[in-house]
């Protein structure tokens, strides 16, 4: 049986691209905009739909596009892959470490198979969850992934669906859970034929990236929910990162996020392994992660931009744009203890009050915290990592803050060794007009923000993509190798000290120390139960009394001297102390 939702068509035919396989197959109306025909396709067989007397279009639910998003689909039989992960029971997000990567730039080859060959590196540094940027079909050869137009596909340049299954299977064999980044708030600009089939987009309603998805249409909601279940069920994925959920315009009585959470939880119960939905949101609204019985949507976790902003400002001193509100030394302690910085406070960047308080009962691991990610690097004018502006000593402090803080820590690929490569915004749109529009829009965006637009790389220049590829040859050399070793030691410390994964530690105290320090000093004592993280971002050594006689230095980024119940924290360093 083959079917397609095409309420805008008066006639629908399925066409095989191989003429020897037979002529067009007429689909019959089945009600509610659906068309169906009793026909079977062989695995790999090419086909598409013809609406009325139009051109051949890919299947909206195509799982493979061998010749790109404008060409025919290839049928994929989900049972064609032989899985070896029968013993995989999944991983809870609580206590985990997430590693975000982009398949196209993680390795020189830029494929799923090449990425799978590097999974041992992630295990070695203590990662538990590997999160892939979107892998959907996009026009062109390379893209961040957020221009996807066929949500059910796996980009052919990455290896297609078979390579994706091999990657997940290999990850599970290595003990790693897989989280897939999915985009349900917009469709890309090239190869988007869905509006020819039906009202997938809401006319007159736009978000940052284009027309909003029409969530008033039941079939569109089902299209999204079934897509989510496909990754979790057919590809054995362990979780989904839901892109920019604040751009989901939903006026229905039950929000689409709640429906997704309910469907995911039901599938989790059936499969007998944990499945996690993680929202990206700038709303600072705990409704996303509160249990449904408490009036929330019941998602597993959400990203915390506030944590990133507080850490970034403390480390770099940058206070332009949305960083302005995080200039106070109180910003870092507040996100450490309260989860959100903006919890109903005034946001100067937005020009209004923003956010809601985080209930103390919410477990800390439900916030995914990070010092770097693809957006916060790639949406800078030059796509520069912290490596470009911080000394090795401050990069080490960033590592300590990331892996000792409340929340579920996330690393962005290469962060663990201070990768020298930038992460820049790149596209490969074949259409000249679209490439020019992307160039102009990118320049205009940074001009509006007051950034130097002259340093904005051309997204369409292949060199922009090439510069963003990781250089694995630097991983164990010099300062890179020393930083990588620190991340390994921090991950071991995190596993060995229950305080560092305590889900209730938002309720524990933190304080800014040394009130007599110079105004430009940045000195913090940040507590996790009996463990204290001492951060000295000033230019002078800092003497800190130990809380208890049995306290000792558990880890230090630079040599720390302890004498007479006092630990001396060197400039631009961090020390973790606690009872042995």
Residue 75 in this model has a pLDDT that exceeds 60: yes
Q: Is residue 518 exposed (0-12), middle (13-18) or buried (19+ Cβ within 10 Å)?
A: exposed
pLDDT at 520: 42
- CA 382 to chain CA centroid, nearest Å: 20
Choice among 13-22, 42-51, 505-514 with the minimum mean pLDDT: 505-514
Choice among 65-79, 92-106, 420-434, 515-529 with the minimum mean pLDDT: 515-529
Query: Residue 332 is encoded by which pair of tokens?
Result: 């870092």
- All domains of the chain in start order, with CATH: 2-57 (2.60.40.10), 509-579 (2.60.40.1180)
Q: Quick one: which of 178, 5, 164, 174 has its CA closest to 80? A: 164
Average model confidence (pLDDT) across the chain: 93
Query: Residue 426 is encoded by which pair of tokens?
Result: 């790149």
Sequential DSSP letters for 320-365: SGGGGGG-STTHHHHHHHHS-S-SSEEETTTTEEE--PPPTTS-GG
In 3-state terms, what secondary structure has residue 378? helix
- CA 171 to chain CA centroid, nearest Å: 17
pLDDT at 548: 84
Q: Extract long-range pairs of 387-393: CB within 8 Å, 24+ residues apart.
A: 387/418, 387/419, 387/420, 388/422, 389/316, 390/315, 390/316, 391/572, 392/418, 392/479, 392/482, 392/483, 393/557, 393/558, 393/572, 393/573
Q: What share of the chain is helix, strand, coil (3-state, %, to 5)?
A: 35, 20, 45
In 3-state terms, what secondary structure has residue 120? helix
Residue 278, annotated as binding a ligand: no
pLDDT band per the 50, 70, 90 thresholds, residue 209 = low
C-beta separation of 398 from 371 below 8 A: yes
Q: Summarize the confidence of residues 264-274 as an average pLDDT.
A: 98
Q: How, if at all, do strands 201-207 and 177-182 pair?
A: unpaired
Q: Rounded to the nearest 5 degrees, what angle is found at the Cα of 100, between the Cα atoms of 285 and 98?
A: 70
Residue 245, annotated as binding a ligand: yes
CA 122 → CA 7, 130, 132, 237, 465, distances in Å?
47, 8, 13, 17, 23
Residue 479, annotated as binding a ligand: no
Distance in angstroms (rounded) separating the CA atoms of residues 574 and 519: 20
CA 112 → CA 152, 202, 440, distances in Å?
17, 34, 32
Residue 510 in this model has a pLDDT that exceeds 70: no
Distance in angstroms (rounded) separating the CA atoms of residues 16 and 315: 58
Residue 315, annotated as binding a ligand: no
Residue 210 in this model has a pLDDT that exceeds 80: no
Q: Quick one: which of 261, 241, 359, 357 has its CA closest to 306? A: 357
C-beta separation of 137 from 194 below 8 A: no
pLDDT tens, residue by residue, 427-468:
999 999 988 888 887 777 776 566 666 788 999 999 999 999
Residue 270, annotated as binding a ligand: no
Q: Quick one: which of 398, 433, 391, 417 has its CA closest to 484? A: 417
Residue 204 in this model has a pLDDT that exceeds 90: no
DSSP character at residue 570: P
- In a 13 Å sphere around the CA of 118, the CA atoms on its Cβ side amount to 22
In 3-state terms, what secondary structure has residue 41? coil
Residue 147, annotated as binding a ligand: no
Active-site positions? 243, 280
C-beta separation of 320 from 391 below 8 A: no
Higher pLDDT, 209 or 321: 321
Residue 156 in this model has a pLDDT that exceeds 60: yes
Residue 515 in this model has a pLDDT that exceeds 50: no
Distance in angstroms (rounded) separating the CA atoms of residues 547 and 429: 59
C-beta separation of 194 from 149 below 8 A: yes
3-state SS, one letter per residue, for 233-279 = HCCCCCEEEECCHHHCCCCCCCCHHHHHHHHHHHHHHHHCCCCEEEE
Residue 241, annotated as binding a ligand: yes
Residue 278 in this model has a pLDDT that exceeds 60: yes
Q: Which residues of 63-83 are buried (b: 16+ CB within 10 A; e: fewer)?
A: bbbeebbbbbbbbbeeeebee
Residue 500, annotated as binding a ligand: no
Distance in angstroms (rounded) separating the CA atoms of residues 6 and 353: 43
C-beta separation of 405 from 359 below 8 A: no
Residue keyed to tokens 């402090």: 397
Residue 308, annotated as binding a ligand: yes
pLDDT band per the 50, 70, 90 thresholds, residue 521 = low
Distance in angstroms (rounded) separating the CA atoms of residues 332 and 401: 10
Residue 377, annotated as binding a ligand: yes
pLDDT tens, residue by residue, 304-352:
999 999 999 999 999 988 999 999 888 999 999 999 999 999 999 999 9
Residue 185, annotated as binding a ligand: no
- Give the chain's length: 580
User: Residue 73's beta-bridge partner residues?
Assistant: 47
User: Residue 177's beta-bridge partner residues?
Assistant: 129
Q: Quick one: which of 160, 333, 150, 318 has its CA closest to 227? A: 150
Residue 376, annotated as binding a ligand: yes
Residue 244, annotated as binding a ligand: yes
pLDDT tens, residue by residue, 386-405:
999 999 999 999 999 999 99
């Amino acid at each position: 049986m083959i079917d397609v939702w095409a309420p805008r068509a008066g006639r629908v035919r399925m066409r095989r691209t191989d003429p020897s396989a037979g002529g067009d197959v007429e689909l019959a109306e089945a009600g509610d905009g659906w068309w169906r025909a009793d026909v079977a396709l062989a695995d790999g067989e090419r086909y598409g739909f013809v609406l009325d007397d139009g051109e051949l279009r890919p299947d909206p639910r195509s799982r493979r596009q061998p010749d790109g998003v404008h060409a025919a689909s290839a049928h994929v039989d989900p049972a064609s892959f032989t899985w070896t992960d029968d013993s995989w029971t999944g991983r809870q997000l609580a206590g985990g470490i997430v590693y975000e990567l982009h398949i196209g730039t993680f390795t020189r080859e830029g494929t799923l198979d090449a990425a799978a060959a590097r999974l041992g590196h992630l295990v070695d540094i203590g990662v538990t969850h590997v999160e892939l940027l979107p892998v959907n079909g996009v026009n062109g050869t390379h893209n961040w992934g957020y221009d996807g137009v066929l949500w059910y596909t796996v980009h052919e340049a990455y290896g297609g669906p078979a390579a994706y299954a091999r990657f997940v299977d290999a990850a599970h064999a290595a003990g790693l859970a897989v989280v897939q980044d999915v985009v349900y708030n917009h469709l890309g600009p090239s190869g988007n034929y869905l509006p020819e089939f039906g009202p997938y987009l809401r006319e007159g309603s736009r978000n940052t990236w284009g027309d909003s998805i029409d969530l008033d249409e039941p079939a569109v909601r089902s299209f999204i929910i079934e897509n989510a279940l496909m990754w979790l069920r057919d590809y054995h994925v362990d979780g989904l990162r839901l892109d920019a959920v604040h751009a989901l315009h939903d006026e229905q009585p039950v929000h689409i996020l709640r429906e997704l959470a309910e469907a995911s939880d039901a599938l989790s119960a059936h499969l007998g392994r944990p499945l996690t939905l993680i929202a990206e949101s700038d709303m600072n609204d705990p409704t996303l992660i509160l249990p449904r019985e408490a009036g929330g949507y019941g998602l597993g976790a959400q990203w915390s931009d506030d944590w990133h902003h507080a850490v970034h400002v403390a480390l770099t001193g940058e206070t332009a744009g949305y960083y302005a509100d995080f200039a106070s030394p109180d910003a870092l302690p507040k996100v450490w203890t309260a989860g959100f910085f903006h919890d109903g406070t005034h946001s100067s960047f937005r020009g209004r009050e923003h956010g809601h308080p985080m209930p103390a009962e919410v477990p800390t691991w439900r916030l995914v915290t990070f010092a770097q990610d693809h957006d916060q690097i790639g949406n800078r004018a030059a796509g520069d990592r912290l490596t470009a502006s911080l000394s090795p000593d401050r990069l080490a402090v960033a590592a300590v803050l990331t892996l000792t803080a409340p929340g579920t820590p996330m690393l962005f690929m290469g962060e663990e060794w201070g990768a020298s490569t930038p992460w820049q915004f790149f596209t490969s749109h074949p259409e000249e007009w679209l490439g020019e529009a992307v160039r102009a829009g990118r320049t205009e965006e940074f001009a509006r923000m007051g950034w130097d637009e002259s340093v904005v790389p051309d997204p369409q220049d292949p060199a922009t993509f090439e510069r963003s590829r990781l250089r694995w040859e630097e991983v164990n050399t010099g300062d890179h190798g020393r930083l990588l070793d620190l991340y390994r030691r921090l991950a071991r410390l995190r596993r060995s000290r229950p305080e560092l994964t305590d889900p209730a530690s938002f309720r524990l105290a933190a304080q800014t120390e040394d009130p007599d320090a110079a105004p430009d000093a940045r000195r913090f004592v940040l507590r996790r139960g009996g463990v204290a993280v001492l951060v000295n971002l000033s230019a002078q050594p800092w003497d800190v009394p130990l809380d208890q006689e049995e306290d000792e230095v558990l880890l230090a980024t630079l040599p720390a001297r302890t004498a007479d119940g006092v630990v001396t924290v060197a400039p631009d360093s961090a020390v973790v102390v606690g009872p042995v």
